[in-house]
Structure 1
Amino acid sequence: MPVTSSSLVLQLSGVRTRAGRAGSLDDLSLGVEPGQVVAVVGGAGSTLFDTVCGFERPEAGEITWRGSALRPRPHRLTTLGGLARTLQGVGLYGGLTVLENVLVGAAGVPPVAAVPAGRHGGMGVALLGGAQLRLRGEELRRLARDVLTRLGAGDHLDAELAAVPVSLHLRVVLARALLVAPELLVLDDPTAGLEAGEAAALAELLRPEPGSDRAVLVTTGDTEFAALAADRVVSLGG
């Protein structure tokens, strides 16, 4: 049965951009179906991420979200409903533990200080948009602990984020995004800094559960990870 534009979670049609930070998009058409993981490899992958999130404006073409025109603006993506993404340069919360930084995605932004000056937020936080999070209490904590452990942060669950190596911040970002089970999860180079075993665990975690409509769009330079994680691998130049 052919996939129609209205049944796609995300569709790009004839999108063209300038060079961007990692190559240009030239008449790109790409669709992401419910329950599907699409990995984009190649020099222009990060430009695709920037375009979907609204940091890069296309010169031509159209982006649709569930069949409706999408004109993404970074600060308004949380109003879409069901979108999570990783984003560089946004602070995590140094006054919270590693586990609490993941759980905060279920409860909103806490009234605590972000990562102190001089400490970097790694890939930043996952921005969460209207995802339906049905888990609560101990079940939610158990899931968060499991995801963090599988991503290699299990020994630091109760440590304050400001006290753990910056290299672990990416694990927190990824665990937070995975925890809310959004309709669409958009990741940019998520294996940077991960060990091979952690990248393999992430590939497994990205796979939607049976019956789930969650879609994933991931840009990566790691072709082995792309092959492990994705139903479909798209190669882009740049």
Structure 2
Amino acid sequence: MSDLLRVRGLTKRFGGLVAVNRLDLDVGAGEIVGLIGPNGAGKTTAFHVISGFHVPSAGEIVFKGASVVGQKPHAICRRGLARTFQIVQPFAGLTALENVMIGAFNRTGDVAEGRAHAREVLDFVGLGSHRDAPARTLTLADRKRLEMARALATQPELLLLDEVMSGLNPTEIDQIVGLLRTIHARGVAILLIEHVMRAVMALSHRLVVLHHGEKIAQGPPGEVARDRRVIDAYLGESA
């Protein structure tokens, strides 16, 4: 399995605060990797840096064989790396279809083609019947689906998902897990930040654990769940 994403020595400082410290991380083609750890561990900051929203203080980020350090988010997205955000903020006054068309148009450059693709993506994530609804009227679960649809409309090879299950009930979580499995089955690799452990353990081929900005463990989910450092820092004895 070839590496789609290769991160080496990634460091991000904010003044005297080191949010991410010398992180090494790989995501292979066709892989689902869970990025876990307590709040404040540096997970979302790592996403911001990988996707171009923050410039790294040090380190290497290689996507599809080429460095993306210093590239703007839209340029990285066009290369095939899309992401969602922890706080879902669609364009509230636009319809679900219009929200997704923005991502689709950025990829296709054609309005008619973008509209058709946006409709397909909304159907795929289960929002076809809500395509004309203003985003502000959608439930939290549907706004999460809309956030994923906006990312999927760019036709990514790697999808970075930041807590897409937070705030959802068990039934909604199971539905999102099913959707992610379908996305993965279509050939999209996934790097997933998530605190819903039953979901991330079931989905992930590998886990990477951050604590205070540093990687403290990585490996298959069952192995990581037994790691004393991970139990002490994050999972607790109940894991």
Same fold (TM over 0.5): yes
Q: Gapped runs of 5+ residues in structure 1?
A: 109-128
**Whole-Å separation in 1 of the counterparts to 2:155 and 2:177:** 15
Deviations 1:15-58 (A, max 9, x none): 223369x9732322111111111110012211211221233333
Higher mean displacement: 54-63 or 44-53: 54-63
Q: Does the CA contact (< 8 Å) of 1:83 and 1:130 recur in 2?
A: no
Distance 1:191 1:23, change over 3 A: farther
1:191-226, Cα deviation, whole Å (9 max, x unpaired): 1222222222222322345572x2211222222221
| SS of residue matched to 2:20 | coil
* Superposed counterparts of 1:141-160, under 5 Å: 141=119, 143-149=121-127, 156-160=130-134
- 2:167 is the alignment partner of 1:169: no
The SS at the match of 1:193 is coil
Establish whether residue 227 from structure 1 lines up as the match of residue 201 from structure 2: yes
Secondary structure at the counterpart of residue 31 of structure 1: strand
Q: Which runs of 5+ in 2 are unaligned?
A: 213-239
Q: 2:49 aligns with which of 51, 56, 59?
A: 51
Q: TM-score, normalised by structure 2?
A: 0.68
Report the equivalent of 1:29: 24
Greater fraction of residues in helix: 2
For the residue of structure 1 that corresponds to 2:13, the secondary structure is coil
Alpha-carbon RMSD = 3.5
**Aligned residue for 2:167?**
193
CA contact (8 A) 2:103 2:154 kept: yes
Corresponding position of 1:202: 176
Partner of 1:68: 66
Could you tell me the TM-score, scaled by structure 1's length?
0.68
Aligned-partner Cα distance in 1 for 2:123–2:77: 28
Matching of residues 51-130 of structure 1 within 5 Å: 51-78=49-76, 80-87=78-85, 92-108=90-106
Q: Which has the higher strand share?
A: 2
Is 1:38 aligned to 2:12, yes or no? no
CA contact (8 A) 2:122 2:131 kept: no
- Identity over aligned residues, as a percent? 32
